[in-house]
Amino acid sequence: MRALQILNLEWSKQMLTFYYTPHTCSLASHIALKDASAGYELRRIDFGLNEQQSPEYLKINPKARVPALVTPRGTLTETPAILAFVAQTFPQAALAPLNDPFAFAELQAINSYLSSTLHVAHSHRMRGYRWASDASSFTDMQRKVPESVGACYDMIESRMLRGPWVMGETYTIGDPYLFTIAQWLEDDGVDPRRIPRVIEHRARMAERANVKAAIAEEQAI
C-alpha cells in the first residue's frame, strides 16, 4: 500500500494530457481533473472537422471517441475508468471512498450505469447507425428515446441519487458524470418535472467553481 501511495504521488506531479470535445461526456472527466487540482494540458478534438478519425488521434484512441487521458503509463479511455484513475491518483481530493471497497464498488456501479445504459439510450437519438443500417430503424430508435432515457432517469431519481450528492453527503466522481449527462435530458424528450431531485442536483453542480471553470476552459479553446 505504501509503494502504491508513493507511485500515485509521483504520477500526480506529472502533466497529463486530456483530449476532449465540448458538449460531450468528456466534461465529466474534465471537472474531476479540476476537482483533483491535477496538472493537465487540454487538447480539443473537433468532431465538426472529423478530427476523431485523423491518423494522429487514432494513434491515441483507436476508438475515435472522447475522452482520452494520456498518462505517464499510457492512455486511458472510457469515462468510468478515467474518473476512477483521477480519484485514485489524487486521493487527497477525496473524490471516492477509496478505503471502503463496497462503497467504491457502489460508486463504480452508478458510473457504469450512466455509461452503459443511460448514455447508450441517449445515443440512439442521433447515432442509430451504430446499431442498424436502415434509415427507418433510426426513426424508430429516435421515437423510443424519451421512453428509454426517461426510464433511466426514473431509476436514478428513485434508487440511485441519494442526495444532496450521488453518494449522499459526500461529493464524488459520480457527481460530475451525472451532471454532464443530465444536461441532455430535455433534448432527449424527458420532462424535468418528473425528476426534481436530478434537476436539483444539476443546478447544485452548475454553481460549483470547478464546474464553471471546466466549462469556461472548453469554451475558450
Distance separating alpha carbons of residues 4 and 197, to the nearest angstrom: 38
**Domain of 133: which CATH number?**
1.20.1050.10
Percent of the chain at pLDDT exceeding 90? 86
Shared domain for 7 and 68, answered yes or no, is yes
Give 140's Cβ-side CA count (13 Å radius). 7
| 197 and 121 within one domain | yes
Is 85 found in the same domain as 13?
Answer: yes
Domain that holds residue 174: 101-208
CB 108 within 8 A of CB 84: yes
Residue 3 confidence (pLDDT):
44
Same domain, 33 and 115: no
Clarify whether residues 37 and 58 are in a common domain: yes
- pLDDT score, position 4: 44
The count of structural domains within the chain is: 2
- Name the DSSP class of 192: G
72 and 58 housed in the same domain: yes
> What pLDDT was estimated at residue 1?
44
Residues 16 and 67 in one domain: yes
The DSSP-derived string for 26-85 is HHHHHHHHHHTT--EEEEE--GGGTGGGSHHHHHH-TT--S-EEEETTEEEESHHHHHHH
pLDDT of residue 11: 53
* pTM for the predicted model, two decimal places: 0.92
pLDDT computed for residue 128 by the predictor = 81
The candidate with the shortest Cα–Cα distance to 164, out of 196, 211, 186, is 196
Tell me, yes or no, whether 121 and 203 share the same domain. yes
Least confident of 2-6, 59-63, 91-95, 210-214: 2-6
Please answer whether residues 124 and 144 qualify as being in contact, where contact means their C-beta atoms are separated by less than 8 angstroms: yes
pLDDT at 46 over 80: yes
Mean pLDDT value across residues 114-126: 95
- pLDDT of 204: 98
Query: Could you tell me the pLDDT band of residue 197, with boundaries at 50, 70 and 90?
Result: very high
Asked if 11 and 68 sit in the same domain, the reply is: yes
Q: Which residue has the cell 447544485?
A: 204
Q: Same structural domain for residues 144 and 53? A: no
Percent residues over pLDDT 70 in the chain: 94
Q: Do 106 and 87 share a structural domain? A: no
Summarize the confidence of residues 9-31 as an average pLDDT.
87
Angle between helices 209-220 and 26-35 (to 10 degrees): 120
Q: What is the CATH number of the domain that holds 42?
A: 3.40.30.10
